Structure 1
Amino acid sequence: MTDQLQELVINGRFLMQPTTGVQRVAREITREIDHLVANGDVPLRVRLVCEADADIGDLNLRAMQVERTRHAHGHVWEQFVLPRHVKGGRLLCLGNTAPIVTLLGRKPVALMIHDLSYRLFPDAYRRHYKLGHALMLPFLLRRADPIVTVSETEKAMFTSLVPGARHRLIVAQNGGWRAGCDARAAPPPDIDATRGDYILYVGSLSHRKNIAGVLAVGIAMARERGIPLVLVGSSGAFLSPLPVSIPDDVRHLIRLEGQVEDLGRLGDLYRNARCLLFPSFYEASPLPPLEAMHFACPVVASDIPSMRERCGDAAAYCDPYDHDSIHRAVTSVLDDPGYARMLAGRGLAQASRYSWREQARIILSAIFDLQTVQPGQ
């Protein structure tokens, strides 16, 4: 009976990359696919193919076979080693790229493309990153099937580039905070609780995330109110260098936490913040707003279509290109406890709408046309 099962092969390149949003999403989807298979919700055999020293400890796999390979790393591994290990399975690539030789094969490759930020904000990325993705994207959009994207906004953008790909595009919104991943096992969020004394930003320190606007408003708030700004994130290797200049008079109030890999610690930062400040110029299906909402942390977000799609009526919206607008939105949350409580309550409801398991279920149904996928518990 086992030999008759369809086989899925997951491209594990994301396991060797720094953990930003794309890698977080890939890990969560992989974990949930394993859960669905282990619980018998989907009739599949799944292999995770990765490099020899990939760290899979936090995935806690129960049913998925892990196949470690040697002799190459990174892009070279993906293009030349991975294809030899796909064999008769369907390949799922969760990190924007796929091996060309497998795309040219008989079996379609399922591909998740998160966004097109490098096209819209080219100055935010290094030249080799932009060139590589610009050369590969048209080929990916023409050959991959299905193409998974994370919002209706993004689907419309992909369709405008390659209209013929419309029937192969599916939308599977990212989940939010993973239930049970906070090691501190804190009690449920209390929207009436007195929160901490800082404004929080979580994301890469890049131009397209509007880090300049975050800093400008954070510095103004530090001077006016003495309230700290806590920045969680870093500039990745593929991002253009972005000088972060902090005036001496507020240096003690601007905290650079760097990349926070410990989800328990990240949860504490959300739980104790006065609000999350997230005025990005461009997003597809961002994680921080929904993560903050899970902890009853009010969210200030940019008024752009994908953010409206993601956050609904549970955020205080601002014009990301207008620092005064961002400032007013933050002030409205800080100065009006009733408004902050309302946003926190709406945020808890909004966060409950999204789950990694549902995203994994949508992806598997699109790849295999599985009518037997059952709602998870």
Structure 2
Amino acid sequence: MYINGKFLAQPITGVQRYALHVLLTVDSLLQEGQWVTNEPLVLLAPTTHLHATAAFTRLEVREIAAGHLHLWEQWRLPRATRGDRLLNLAGSAPLFKRGQICTFHDTAVFDMPQAYNRAFTCWYRLLFTVQGRLSHRLLTVSDFSKARICHHLRVDPGKVGVVHGAADHMLAHQADYGVLPRLDVTPGRYFIAVGSANPTKNFARLVEAFAGLPQADTRLVVVGGSNSAVFNDREEKGCHDARIVRAGRLTDAELKALYIHARAFVFPSVYEGFGLPPIEAMLCGCPVLAARAASIPEICGPAAAYFDPLSLTSMRKAMARALHDDTWLDSLRAAGRERASLFSWHNAATGLLQQLASLGVVRRAA
């Protein structure tokens, strides 16, 4: 079985992180002898890959000459894997190849098309529809996304497996506390929000809700970048609150430091297939305030305090309580650590291996 390594040539966002850490952990489980392959697992990487492949010891890595990544995936990859199965973990896949295993993290191009440009929406709607029929199996990251896939693609639920994401990659990093003075924020006196400029992240409403808080010494740190080739960016217009810190992209070490010292993490998103940041925050001991929307209650469970993401009053009320109710935050902090422990890359990799075992690709060691 071949594995689509296009993600190795892309900057790390949610789907690339998922693919990378699941495969690294699969490799470790094979190395430890917990699972045995019935056929070789070959990771095909573009020659332009950004991320190191030396860490893979049981997955064979082969490079395929690459120019434009989309053409690599749609032309070179199907030719290199002709007649064999292909596992795709990062959302995209060759359009017309039969018998693939495709991972669709969400169906936002159907549910929230206004968040993306027209070309992106049309392409992924076509890809999902075609591969909904041609794929041997589909994977996704939550029961919410599974239900939406079955609804939009009209596939039998038995064809779709769920392999959750995780956040314990944060444990590998030493927190870089230098980010706090650099951003001019005080421990315990700022909220943190993480995500792209995709309108589904609902940052414009978060900024407006925060602007209504009277505390002059409180900050809102917004972490994340944007991709105007994909998202229909919408800047928060009419709000120039000096208390809002736009940090841009940060390293995991810097992000960990911000999680550890934040008053609370705020996740206002109206649409998520899984949502890694709240689980990352929980793992780092940061209380989570989250939108009651899409997959978020499924993933965060009883460990988050929920608000209505379409209500400024509801969102602002949750943040206002977080500024004065230490006992409440302590309970969220404890519940969050317990909840985050359920989502590990070991569990995700085991879930993927179980899916592959059902196809006869691997088996548990005797």
Deviation at 1:184, TM superposition (A): 4.5
Change (3 A) 1:287 1:294: same
8 A contact 1:142–1:165 mirrored in 2: no
Partner SS state of residue 253, structure 2: helix
Change (3 A) 1:17 1:244: farther
8 A contact 2:97–2:134 mirrored in 1: no
Change (3 A) 1:59 1:122: farther
Match of 1:318 among 265, 287, 307: 307
- Name the CA distance, whole Å, in 2 between partners of 1:302 and 1:13: 32
Counterparts of residues 176-195 of structure 1 (less than 5 Å): 176-178=167-169, 180-184=171-175, 195=187
Deviation at 1:195, TM superposition (A): 4.9
Alignment correspondent of 2:135: 144
Change (3 A) 1:101 1:306: closer
8 A contact 1:31–1:59 mirrored in 2: no
Partner SS state of residue 172, structure 2: coil
Deviation at 1:71, TM superposition (A): 4.5
Change (3 A) 1:53 1:238: same
Greater displacement, 232-241 / 285-294: 232-241
8 A contact 2:9–2:51 mirrored in 1: no
Alignment correspondent of 1:33: 26
Matched residue type, 1:82: L
Match of 1:155 among 141, 146, 159: 146
Partner SS state of residue 365, structure 1: helix
Deviation at 1:274, TM superposition (A): 0.8
- Name the CA distance, whole Å, in 1 between partners of 2:208 and 2:54: 38
- Name the CA distance, whole Å, in 2 between partners of 1:170 and 1:271: 34
Deviation at 1:219, TM superposition (A): 2.3
- Name the CA distance, whole Å, in 1 between partners of 2:244 and 2:54: 34
Deviation at 1:341, TM superposition (A): 0.2
Counterparts of residues 205-354 of structure 1 (less than 5 Å): 205-221=197-213, 223-236=214-227, 237-245=229-237, 247-248=239-240, 250-251=241-242, 253-260=243-250, 262-354=251-343
8 A contact 1:51–1:73 mirrored in 2: no
8 A contact 2:170–2:280 mirrored in 1: no
Alignment correspondent of 2:194: 202
Deviation at 1:217, TM superposition (A): 2.0
8 A contact 2:8–2:50 mirrored in 1: yes
Match of 2:72 among 66, 69, 77: 77
Partner SS state of residue 2, structure 2: strand
Change (3 A) 1:129 1:162: closer
Alignment correspondent of 1:190: none
- Name the CA distance, whole Å, in 1 between partners of 2:159 and 2:133: 9
Alignment correspondent of 1:3: none
Change (3 A) 1:71 1:226: closer
Match of 2:36 among 39, 43, 46: 43
8 A contact 2:87–2:101 mirrored in 1: yes
Alignment correspondent of 2:49: 54
Deviation at 1:183, TM superposition (A): 3.5
- Name the CA distance, whole Å, in 1 between partners of 2:287 and 2:146: 28
8 A contact 2:138–2:159 mirrored in 1: yes
- Name the CA distance, whole Å, in 1 between partners of 2:234 and 2:262: 25
Deviation at 1:84, TM superposition (A): 2.6
Gaps in structure 2 of 5+ consecutive residues = 178-185
TM-score under structure 1 normalisation?
A: 0.87
Deviation at 1:54, TM superposition (A): 0.2
Deviation at 1:88, TM superposition (A): 6.2
Change (3 A) 1:179 1:282: closer
8 A contact 2:7–2:90 mirrored in 1: yes
8 A contact 1:198–1:229 mirrored in 2: yes
- Name the CA distance, whole Å, in 2 between partners of 1:83 and 1:283: 30
Matched residue type, 1:219: A
Alignment deviations for residues 260-293 of structure 1 (CA, whole Å, 9 cap, x no partner): 2x21111111111111110111111100000000
- Name the CA distance, whole Å, in 2 between partners of 1:316 and 1:373: 39
- Name the CA distance, whole Å, in 1 between partners of 2:84 and 2:309: 44
Alignment deviations for residues 201-232 of structure 1 (CA, whole Å, 9 cap, x no partner): 001122111111111123223x4343111111
8 A contact 2:272–2:294 mirrored in 1: no
- Name the CA distance, whole Å, in 2 between partners of 1:32 and 1:243: 38
Aligned sequence identity (%) = 30
CA RMSD of aligned residues (A): 2.3
Alignment correspondent of 2:7: 14
Deviation at 1:59, TM superposition (A): 7.2
8 A contact 1:11–1:91 mirrored in 2: yes
Change (3 A) 1:79 1:39: same
Partner SS state of residue 74, structure 2: helix
- Name the CA distance, whole Å, in 2 between partners of 1:324 and 1:179: 33
Deviation at 1:343, TM superposition (A): 0.3
Q: Size of the alignment, in residue pairs?
A: 353
Deviation at 1:58, TM superposition (A): 7.6
Deviation at 1:16, TM superposition (A): 2.0
- Name the CA distance, whole Å, in 1 between partners of 2:254 and 2:355: 35
- Name the CA distance, whole Å, in 1 between partners of 2:170 and 2:233: 35
8 A contact 1:361–1:373 mirrored in 2: no
TM-score under structure 2 normalisation?
A: 0.90
Partner SS state of residue 150, structure 2: helix
